[in-house]
């Protein structure tokens, strides 16, 4: 007898429907899996055999062929253990009910018949919802957020025995409740703990409001890393959909999330390989730029990263995604993040410092700065030049807390969402939409064009100034872009600051 049930296969975050077809024929005791299975899928036959025997079923005298359709798609992982076991039981007439194609099964099997979670399970659940499945059997995972969809029923089962009982109408799954997830990560720095650097804090507030990329240059000890660590605390919490996508990406890498409501903050070391940053490998996995999706990627000492790694960032910064091509398939991962980079002004780090003498020659400084190519520098919306803070001048000064700044950022984001009709910020909205909804006056256009010609700006820089000016206006609650907003945007983009000073933690 032949049987067929539905499961979900994954290509990155994208899922596709897999039909698990099983034919049972009289013959020698054997199980054969076809349909481009990888090693993990081929080993499923041993797990299925042990699990069914632990429940008292026998496969003696049966020649079982399992086909995973579509046959041209490579199948990987243990997610097909559960649907293959159910389909085998139907083919042996151990289960007699009819299972609709809109009912799916995902899960890995242990040798005693327990159904276990697997890497990428949340991505498979979201793919099943997108593909229109009405019912999905899956294992419960306390590490995942509580899932409830009005258009798809989720049935959590812990063993093959429970799933059989539910299919026969003899058992109902218990209710599962996850604990409330924390809003922020533990030991997270607050902006109020950093004294001074008022101009830098205001610039980062602008970057957070419009999702602008930032390059911070300054000598050691001026507070570049401290400000970067505080930056996620002024970002709005993730929406429900963004949380699920972020957790899916982390799960594909086998990582856990400490605070899923907080935007991710990734801080890879400069010795990290290009594959670990961008993603890929023999079996492609998401890289740091994808793990930073809807959050922050902080590259400390960016000039020490390999040149090939930095140049590979250019395309994701523009498109918000990264495509990894391999012989068997091309996988696309989301990579829409805020790039926050920090570097020293020279090899010794003290060029322009008031407290240390720089020992670098002009040639060495130029060579060090040239580690960042022109096209990559052109993708930074803001450039900050910081110097050590004078402790005596800021003694007793208290700054705003991250919560206070975050409220202003949230208000500016809401203005952008209302203006564009979707959750998109000024730095990412198409330019034609930006100028249509926030047009410049003829005088402003003429002034900007004159400055652009004089400074030899690229078209990208010209557009970035307008995007920055729009964000500054949103933070001030202004409907139209004012001349003052444009001048402030030019200062932020070119790195001209009023006070260049270092941060001190309270």
The pLDDT value given to residue 277: 95
What is the full DSSP assignment across 161-192?
Answer: HHHHHHHTTS--PPP--PPPPPSS-TT---GG
User: Quick one: CA dihedral 496, 497, 498, 502, positive or negative?
Assistant: negative
Class of residue 375 by CB neighbours under 10 A (exposed 0-12, middle 13-18, buried 19+): exposed
Calpha distance 95→5 (Å, rounded): 12
**Strand, coil or helix: what is 480?**
coil
What letter does residue 80 receive in the DSSP assignment?
Answer: G
**Strand, coil or helix: what is 266?**
strand
The pLDDT value given to residue 257: 80
The pLDDT value given to residue 502: 39
Q: Closest by alpha carbon to 236, among 402, 379, 3, 105? A: 402
List alpha helices for 197-303, DSSP H. 198-210, 224-230, 240-252, 274-278, 288-291
Calpha distance 59→94 (Å, rounded): 11
Calpha distance 109→94 (Å, rounded): 18
Calpha distance 348→367 (Å, rounded): 13
The pLDDT value given to residue 260: 80
Distance of CA 80 to the CA centre of its chain: 26
Residue ranges and CATH numbers for the domains of the chain are: 2-167 (3.30.230.10), 191-505 (3.40.50.300)
Q: Is the pTM of this model over 0.85?
A: yes
Q: Which residues of the chain have pLDDT under 50?
A: 498-506
Angle at 348 between CA 346 and CA 349, to 5 degrees: 60
Calpha distance 88→106 (Å, rounded): 15
The pLDDT value given to residue 499: 42
Calpha distance 292→137 (Å, rounded): 30
Q: Closest by alpha carbon to 194, among 409, 410, 391? A: 391
């Amino acid at each position: 007898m032949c049987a067929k049930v539905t499961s979900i296969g994954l290509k990155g975050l994208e899922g596709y429907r897999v039909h698990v077809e099983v034919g049972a024929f009289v013959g020698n005791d054997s199980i054969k899996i076809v349909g481009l299975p990888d090693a993990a899928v081929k080993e499923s036959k041993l797990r299925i055999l042990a699990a069914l025997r632990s429940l008292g079923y026998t496969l003696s005298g049966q020649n079982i062929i399992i086909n995973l359709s579509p046959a041209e798609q490579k199948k990987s992982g243990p997610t097909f253990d559960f649907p293959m076991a159910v389909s085998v039981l139907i083919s042996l007439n151990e289960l007699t009910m009819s299972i609709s194609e809109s009912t799916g099964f995902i899960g890995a099997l242990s040798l005693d018949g327990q159904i276990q979670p697997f890497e990428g399970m949340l991505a498979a659940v979201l793919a099943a919802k997108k593909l229109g499945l009405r019912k999905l059997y899956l294992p419960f995972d306390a590490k995942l957020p509580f899932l409830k969809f009005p258009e798809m029923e989720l049935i959590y089962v812990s063993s093959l025995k429970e799933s059989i009982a539910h299919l026969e109408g003899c058992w109902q799954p218990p209710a599962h409740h996850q604990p409330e997830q924390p809003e922020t990560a533990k030991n997270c720095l607050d902006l109020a703990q950093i004294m001074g650097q008022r101009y830098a804090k205001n610039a980062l507030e602008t970057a957070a409001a419009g999702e602008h990329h930032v390059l911070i240059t300054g000598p050691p000890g001026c507070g570049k890393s401290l400000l970067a660590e505080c930056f996620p605390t002024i970002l709005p919490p993730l929406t429900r959909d963004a949380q699920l996508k972020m957790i899916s990406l982390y799960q594909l890498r086998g990582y856990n999330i400490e605070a899923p409501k907080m935007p991710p903050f990734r801080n890879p070391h400069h010795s990290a390989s290009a594959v670990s940053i961008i993603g890929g490998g023999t079996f492609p996995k998401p890289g740091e730029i994808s793990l930073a999706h809807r959050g922050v990627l902080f590259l400390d000492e960016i000039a020490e990263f390999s040149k090939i790694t930095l140049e590979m960032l250019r395309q994701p910064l523009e498109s918000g995604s990264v495509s990894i091509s391999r012989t068997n398939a091309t996988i696309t991962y989301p990579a829409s993040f805020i790039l926050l980079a920090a570097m020293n002004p020279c090899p010794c780090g003290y060029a322009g410092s008031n407290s240390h003498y720089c020992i670098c020659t002009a040639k060495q400084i130029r060579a060090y700065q040239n580690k960042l190519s022109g096209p990559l520098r052109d993708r930074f919306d803001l450039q900050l030049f910081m110097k050590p803070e004078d402790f005596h001048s800021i003694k007793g000064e208290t700054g705003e807390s991250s919560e206070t700044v975050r409220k202003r950022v949230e208000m500016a984001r809401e203005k952008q969402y209302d203006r564009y009709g979707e959750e998109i910020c000024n730095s990412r909205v198409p330019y034609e939409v930006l100028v249509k909804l926030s047009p410049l006056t003829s005088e402003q256009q003429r002034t900007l064009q004159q400055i652009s010609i004089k400074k030899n700006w690229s078209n990208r820089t010209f557009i970035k100034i307008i995007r920055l000016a729009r964000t500054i206006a949103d933070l001030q609650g202004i409907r139209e872009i004012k001349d003052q907003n444009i001048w402030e945007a030019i200062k932020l983009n070119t790195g001209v600051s009023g006070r260049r000073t270092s941060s001190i933690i309270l």
